[in-house]
Amino acid sequence: MGDYWLYFPFVVVLGLLIGSFMNVVAIRILKQESVVFPPSHCVHCNHSLKPLDLIPLLSYLFLRGKCRYCRAAISWVYPAGEAATAALFALLYWQLGLSPELLTGFLLAAILTAIVITDLKSMLIPDTIVLAGMIFAVILRLWTHPLPLWDYAIAFFAGSGLLWIIAIASKGGMGGGDIKLFAFLGLVLGIKLTLLTLFVASLMGTLYGLVLFAMHRLQKKHTVPFGPFIATAAMLMYLWGDSLIEWYMEMIMG
């Protein structure tokens, strides 16, 4: 137990750093810029940022949400992404401990963080982010796989295939990015949890739509990004999906 708390601060710091990096990845890919060059800079005045300006979360608080050089407001997306990733890393560590599977959990959290940012800002789930996630997911699953490898292979095609059918039936109501995202999730979650993620994400999206309708804020051509619902459902299922299934089976079996 002592070792657990010894590593906990490092996990949180790692989450902040990865969250900061995924912020950069998401924003720069949307702007069709290189992730590496130029170095970090203010998006308003283009002034290069110093190391003290790049401390995740703390620099935002210290600068009171404004650029040190031009005093323009810094988007809330940056601290939110950093804090969310750090919280997810801490939660994953709490659930999985120092295990090989923890790396897969970190990958899932990092990819989903970037995807939520891009989908909320531009209604896009970039192929670059999802394909990178797939490559790392394949490598990690070849190393550690709680389920048989064939389960992940089937999930890769089943989740995305089902979403593709829904996209055709809804005549474009589902984006291509969502389809590719479910292929990635299949490699991480396996068939059972991937399908459960689709169900839960759809339920969450429906409930959100009903709330908007009840508040008279749902317009005829109102488009809601599905990525955040997928990301939330995927993380919930990754952490507690098996327990949820076990509880449900016990309930119906009496």
Please write the tens of the pLDDT for every residue from 140-157: 999 999 999 999 999 999
Question: Which region among 55-59, 80-84, 126-130 has the lowest average model confidence (pLDDT)?
Answer: 55-59
Question: Would you say residue 205 has pLDDT above 70?
Answer: yes
Phi-psi category of 216—alpha, beta or left, where left has phi over 0 and alpha has psi -120 to 50? left
Q: What percent of the chain has pLDDT over 70?
A: 94
Work out the average pLDDT over 181-189. Answer: 96
Question: Would you say residue 164 has pLDDT above 60?
Answer: yes
Question: Would you say residue 173 has pLDDT above 80?
Answer: no
Mean pLDDT across the chain, nearest whole number? 89
pLDDT bracket for residue 84 (50, 70, 90): very high
Paired with 48 in beta bridges are 41
The domain segmentation of the chain, as residue ranges, is: 1-98, 140-254
Residue 193 three-state SS? helix
Q: Which pLDDT score is estimated for 220? A: 63
Please, are residues 201 and 229 in contact by the beta-carbon 8 Å criterion? yes
More confident residue, 102 or 55: 102
How many C-beta atoms surround the C-beta of residue 148 within 10 A?
10
Question: Would you say residue 28 has pLDDT above 80?
Answer: yes
Work out the average pLDDT over 77-86. Answer: 93
DSSP type of residue 135: H
Please, are residues 32 and 121 in contact by the beta-carbon 8 Å criterion? no
CA distance 203 to 221: 20
